[in-house]
Structure 1
Amino acid sequence: MGFFDGYNIAVSGMSAQRTRINVVSANIANAKTTHTAEGGPYKKQDVVFEEVLLQENNKSNKTSEKNIVENPDLSLRGVGVKSIVEDDAQPVMRYEPSHPDANEDGYVAYPNINPVIEMVNLIEAMRSYEANVSAFSTHKSIDSKTLDIIKV
Structure 2
Amino acid sequence: MGLFDGYNIASSGMGAQRTRINIVSANIANAKTTHTEAGGPYKKQNVVFEELLVNNTKNLNNNLQETNNKNTSAELRGVGVKSIVENDADPIMKYEPSHPDANEEGYVAYPNINPVVEMVDLIEAMRSYEANVATFNTHKNIDSKTLEILKA
| 1:14-47: CA deviation from partner (whole Å, max 9, x where unpaired) | 0000000000000000000000000000000000
Q: Secondary structure in 1 aligned to 2:2?
A: coil
Q: State the AA in 1 paired with 2:75.
A: S
How far apart, in 2, do the equivalents of 1:77 and 1:145 lie? Answer: 25
1:15 alignment partner in structure 2 = 15
2:111 alignment partner in structure 1 = 111
Q: How does 1:92-111 map to 2 (within 5 A)?
A: 92-111=92-111
Q: Secondary structure in 2 aligned to 1:140?
A: helix
Normalised by the length of structure 1, the TM-score is: 0.89
Q: Secondary structure in 2 aligned to 1:47?
A: strand
Q: State the AA in 1 paired with 2:79.
A: V
1:85 alignment partner in structure 2 = 85
How far apart, in 1, do the equivalents of 2:3 and 2:75 lie? Answer: 15
| 1:71-125: CA deviation from partner (whole Å, max 9, x where unpaired) | 34x2010000000000000000000000000001000000000000000000000
How far apart, in 2, do the equivalents of 1:100 and 1:142 lie? Answer: 60
1:71 equivalent in alignment to 2:72:
yes
Unaligned runs of 5+ in 1: 57-67
Q: State the AA in 1 paired with 2:108.
A: V
How far apart, in 2, do the equivalents of 1:9 and 1:70 lie? Answer: 24
Sequence identity, in percent?
Answer: 77
1:148 alignment partner in structure 2 = 148
| 1:111-143: CA deviation from partner (whole Å, max 9, x where unpaired) | 000000000000000000000000000000000
Q: State the AA in 1 paired with 2:116.
A: V
1:131 equivalent in alignment to 2:131:
yes
1:59 alignment partner in structure 2 = none
Q: Secondary structure in 1 aligned to 2:141?
A: helix
Q: How does 1:37-52 map to 2 (within 5 A)?
A: 37-52=37-52
How far apart, in 1, do the equivalents of 2:31 and 2:76 lie? Answer: 39
Unaligned runs of 5+ in 2: 57-68
Normalised by the length of structure 2, the TM-score is: 0.89
